[in-house]
Amino acid sequence: MDSVNIAEITGNIAVIGYGIAAIGPGIGVGMVVSKTIESIARQPELAGRLQVTMWLGIAFVEALALIGLAAGFIFV
Amino acid sequence: MLRTRFRRTKLFRSLTFIAAEDAVYKPPTIFEFYPEIVAFEGTIFAINRIMMIRLIVMVLLIIIFLLWTRKFNQAVKTGNVVPGRFQVLGEMALNFVRTSIAHNQLGEKDGERFLPLLTTMFFMVLGMNITGVIPFANIAGSSVIGVPLVLGAAAYVTFIYAGIRKHGGRFFQYSLFPAGVPKVFYILVTPIEFLSTFILRPVTLVLRLLMNMIAGHLLLVLCFSATNFFVFETEGLFRLFGAGTLIFGFAFTLFEILISVLQAYVFTLLTTVYIQLALADEH
């Protein structure tokens, strides 16, 4: 039986790097959104202000993932 | 065990054989964003597809706004209180920026001051983004750094201007040396504040918009070029994958529409919040 290479991977290691870089922001955004949902459930009348704060929080956390994506293009 | 494995390898081999005898699939690269120049080649006014899309979007935005303002003026002049569909759309869009972004964050007075800039930003980002999903345009005007850079620079200048106008030179003192921190910690706090306020804010504004559009475009190209490859260049079972990638492509198109609106909202909102933080009194 000759071996058939069915899982050969060619490509750039930066892809894996970006995958790792996306873990942290992913967890972070998840936490921000889940806490916001929790807060809105507790106090629905504050929903508007909480959502604005949520967008801000997401924007800061997301920056890391975006820098990771940019770094992948720049340093390859 | 051995036999099933053997059978599986055989299946895979036949599948890979079918795929291998045809053309190889080429995934999209970053060079998607450097289309060939179509006019004025060699001069500084060289225009490629993306630049052309930007110009068209600009003209369309101007026309839409002219029509809207004419409708609004007509409605005021004739006292006609029943708006048409087009006018309602305009009122809703403009009111959205005005109430839920500007007035909510900055208050009535400062909100009105910065409203022209914020409205321009919102509609420009939205217009430039939405071309990413419009057929025959198929690339966002903001997927090359020019547009995000200009908008980011405008936001940067505006919030520093707002701070200096309100607090004078003490704006930098407020933002670099926040009150209520023990003096020793300024060694630590001041560089961080400088980095986050004066460098990371504009850089992340630009990068967020740019990278969202680049990633979105690459995803769409990936899905649809894979569909094209599977349907036209492979045979047998592989064609079924084409249906899968087509569905994914369609889903991502809808997702991109959401992203375009969301990015316009987030960009404008963040600019507003930065202005608001610059205007805020010392805590």
What are the structural domains of chain A? 13-74 (1.20.20.10)
Task: Please state the domain extents for chain B.
Answer: 48-279
What is the three-state SS of A10-40?
Answer: CCCHHHHHHHHHHHHHHHHHHHHHHHHHHHH
Q: What is the per-residue pLDDT for B1?
A: 41
Find the range with the poorest average confidence among B31-40, B56-65, B152-161: B31-40
> By mean pLDDT, which of A62-76, B80-94, B146-160, B198-212 is the weakest?
A62-76
Of the listed ranges A42-46, B33-37, B225-229, the least confidently predicted one is B33-37
Position B239 scores a pLDDT of 84
Signed CA dihedral, B83, B86, B92, B97: sign only: negative
- The yes-or-no verdict on residue B216 having pLDDT over 80 is yes
**Statement: residue B222 has pLDDT above 50:** yes
Q: What is the pTM of this model?
A: 0.84
Chain A contact set for B210 (CB, 8 A): 70
For chain B, positions 89-108, list CB contacts with chain A under 8 A.
Answer: 100, 104-105
Q: Which residue has the tokens 């967008």?
A: A55
- pLDDT computed for residue B105 by the predictor: 86
Backbone phi and psi for residue B131, each to the nearest 5 degrees, phi listed first: -65, -15
Q: pLDDT for B160-171, tens place per residue? A: 999 999 988 888
User: 3-class SS at B53?
Assistant: helix
CB contact under 8 A, B207 and A73: no
pLDDT of residue A25: 93
pLDDT value of residue B265: 92
Contact B204/A59, CB-based, under 8 Å? yes
Nearest alpha-carbon partner for B17 in B235, B227, B228, B230: B235
Which residues from A are below 8 Å from B13, CB to CB? 4
How confident is the model over B27-49, as a mean pLDDT? Answer: 82
Mean pLDDT of B124-139: 92
**pLDDT given at position B283:** 52
pLDDT surpassing 70 at residue B152? yes
Using the predicted structure, report yes or no on whether residue B19 has a pLDDT greater than 60. no
Which residue reads 């909202």 in tokens?
Answer: B265
Of the given ranges (B34-43, B136-145, B210-219), which has the lowest mean pLDDT?
Answer: B34-43
Residues of chain A with pLDDT under 70: 1-6, 76
CA distance B28 to A46: 44
* B40: confidence class by pLDDT, cuts 50, 70, 90: confident
Give φ, ψ of B139 to 5 degrees.
-145, 140
Best mutation site among B3, B104, B204 for testing chain A: the one with the most A CBs within 10 Å?
B204
Band (pLDDT 50/70/90 cuts) for residue B58 is: very high
Interface subset of A 10-69, CB within 8 angstroms of B: 48, 52, 55-56, 59-60, 62-63, 66-67, 69
Q: What confidence score (pLDDT) does residue B238 get? A: 80
HEC per residue, B68-85: HHHHHHHHHHHCCCCCCH
Q: Which of A33-37, B83-87, B190-194, B235-239 has the highest mean pLDDT?
A: A33-37
Q: Do A4 and B215 lie within an 8 Å CB cutoff? A: no
Is residue B47 helix, strand or coil? strand
Which chain A residues contact residue B265 at CB under 8 A?
Answer: 55
| CB-closest option in A55, A60, A70 to B269 | A55
Helix (H) or strand (E) holding B60: helix B49-78
- CA angle, corner B44, sides to B41 and B46, nearest 5? 35
What's the whole-number mean pLDDT along residues B69-83?
85
Look at B270 and A59 and tell me if their CB atoms are within 8 Å: yes
Share of chain B above pLDDT 70, in %: 91
Q: Which residue has the higher pLDDT, A3 or B63?
A: B63
Range B43-53 average pLDDT: 87
Those residues whose C-beta lies under 8 Å from the C-beta of residue B131, and which sit 6 or more positions away, are B53, B57, B137, B138, B139, B140, B141
Identify the pLDDT of residue B229.
Answer: 87
User: What SS3 class is residue B31?
Assistant: helix
Q: How far is CA B95 from CA B91, B104, B108, B119, in A?
A: 6, 12, 13, 10
Tell whether the model's pLDDT for residue B3 goes beyond 50.
Answer: no
Q: How far apart are CA B117 and CA B159, in angstroms?
A: 11
| CA atoms B4, B9, B14, B16: torsion sign | positive
DSSP for residue B181: S
Cβ contact B13–A73 (<8 Å): no
Q: Do A48 and B104 touch (CB under 8 A)?
A: yes
Beta-carbon contacts below 8 Å between A and B? 47
Chain B positions touching A63 (Cβ under 8 A) are 200, 204, 207-208
